[in-house]
């Protein structure tokens, strides 16, 4: 078992990473919740794999009810948000009763948003089951849904009461979903945790230690920038170019981040910010985990990126590695960016 505390100005909460914790939820939840009923929100895939286990591990202390929605990003929409709220109200949920988000990032974001808004706020506990949600999205308090063709455009900051992570649940994840999380996990190593990169070199199973090392990177930026005004931007390493190629070539988000990191490293090397050896170090780890490493020339994407990104007072913020395991925010003017073009 491994633990991490997230300490914010007005609240703090525990993250517990433990193999098999899904079958044992009440042990931990009882330290943050003393009412009688809990409501699990999950998707149809996770339902079949883990709902019974979760219920069995809760019913010694709680009356358990649940709401199931279809899996996938298509469920992170207003209609499903309304459905979940309606079902909860039909079940007569009260203001101080607890939601449990059992599933990947979609369930986490949607449940968090319900929790932020229903009765103007009810508590929730995260039980993330995908790699991406375990190593990243379940902490930090960003919740929301997609709307008007824009991702995460309706949302709220709402921190969970606790996050309970079971690395064993990763065994049932399919390869592409695993990759999706792995790209972001390697990113956490690249931007803030050399120890994590070194652990990954032996290609171990993703275990409690690796999840914790990844979460430590997110913890650090979330604690200094709870509301995503500054330092959280560091988490966007690899995303500027990643977004530019994600849809174009049909990559999963985490796969696009993998390729985007290599592009950002090349650009950083050209600008003499990033040491040359960073390229091979990250390339080798991506290869080891069978993530895409195809080379795209970042110069072909600079124009898109410049006009697409927030252009504040004529400058644009890029994230570069200034050494392996550390990232910095670096502002470039339009002229500087255009000078790099071929």
Looking at 33-41, 97-105, 226-234, 265-273, which segment touches ligand NAD (CB under 6 A)? Answer: 97-105
CA distance 144 to 124: 14
CA distance 109 to 44: 16
The answer to whether residue 255 forms part of the interface with ligand NAD (CB under 6 A) is no
CA distance 118 to 169: 29
The answer to whether residue 49 forms part of the interface with ligand NAD (CB under 6 A) is yes
Phi, psi of 248 (to 5 degrees): -55, -40
- Give SS3 for 59: coil
Instruction: Tell me the H-state helices in 193-320.
Output: 194-200, 208-224, 239-246, 253-270, 277-288, 302-308
The answer to whether residue 129 forms part of the interface with ligand NAD (CB under 6 A) is yes
In whole angstroms, the minimum distance from the beta carbon of 141 to ligand NAD comes to: 8
The answer to whether residue 232 forms part of the interface with ligand NAD (CB under 6 A) is no
Count of residues near ligand NAD by CB under 6 A: 29
The answer to whether residue 115 forms part of the interface with ligand NAD (CB under 6 A) is no
Q: Toward ligand NAD, which CB reaches closer, 107 or 324?
A: 107
The residue within the footprint of ligand NAD, chosen from 57, 105, 167, 189 (CB under 6 A), is 105
CA distance 184 to 60: 37
Phi, psi of 238 (to 5 degrees): 85, -10
In whole angstroms, the minimum distance from the beta carbon of 142 to ligand NAD comes to: 4
CA distance 68 to 1: 29
The answer to whether residue 180 forms part of the interface with ligand NAD (CB under 6 A) is yes
The residue within the footprint of ligand NAD, chosen from 73, 74, 86, 297 (CB under 6 A), is 73
DSSP state of 32: T
Question: What is the contact surface with ligand NAD in residues (CB under 6 A)?
Answer: 43, 45-46, 49, 71-73, 76, 103-107, 109, 129-130, 132-133, 136-137, 140, 142, 151-152, 169, 172-173, 177, 180
């Amino acid at each position: 078992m491994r633990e991490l505390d997230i300490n914010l100005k007005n609240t703090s909460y525990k993250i517990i990473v433990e193999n098999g914790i899904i079958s044992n939820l009440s042990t931990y939840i009882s330290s943050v919740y003393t009412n009688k009923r809990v409501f699990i929100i999950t998707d149809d895939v996770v339902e079949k794999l883990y709902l019974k286990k979760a219920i069995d591990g809760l019913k010694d202390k709680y009356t358990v009810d649940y709401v199931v929605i279809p899996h996938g990003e298509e469920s992170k929409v207003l209609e499903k948000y309304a459905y979940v709220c309606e079902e909860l109200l039909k079940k007569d949920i009260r203001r101080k009763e607890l939601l449990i988000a059992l599933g990947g990032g979609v369930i986490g974001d949607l449940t968090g948003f319900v929790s932020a808004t229903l009765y103007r706020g009810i508590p929730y506990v995260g039980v993330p089951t995908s790699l991406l949600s375990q190593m990243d999205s379940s902490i930090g308090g960003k919740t929301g849904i997609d709307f008007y063709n824009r991702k995460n455009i309706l949302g709220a900051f709402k921190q969970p009461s606790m996050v309970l992570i079971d690395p064993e649940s990763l065994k049932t994840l399919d390869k592409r979903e695993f990759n999706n999380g792995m790209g972001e996990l390697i990113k956490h190593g690249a931007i803030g945790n050399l120890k994590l990169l070194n652990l990954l070199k032996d290609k171990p199973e993703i275990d409690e230690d690796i999840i914790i090392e990844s979460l430590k990177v997110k913890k650090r930026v979330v604690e200094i920038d709870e509301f995503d005004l500054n330092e959280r931007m560091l988490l966007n390493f690899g995303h500027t170019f990643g977004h530019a190629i994600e849809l174009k070539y049909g990559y999963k988000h985490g796969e696009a981040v993998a390729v985007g990191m290599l592009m950002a490293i090349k650009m950083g090397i050209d600008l003499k910010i990033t040491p040359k050896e960073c390229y091979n170090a990250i390339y080798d780890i991506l290869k080891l985990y069978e993530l895409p490493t195809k080379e795209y020339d970042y110069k072909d994407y600079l124009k898109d990126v410049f006009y697409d990104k927030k252009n504040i007072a004529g400058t644009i913020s890029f994230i570069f590695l200034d050494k392996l395991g550390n990232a910095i925010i670096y502002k470039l003017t339009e002229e500087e960016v255009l000078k790099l073009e071929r």
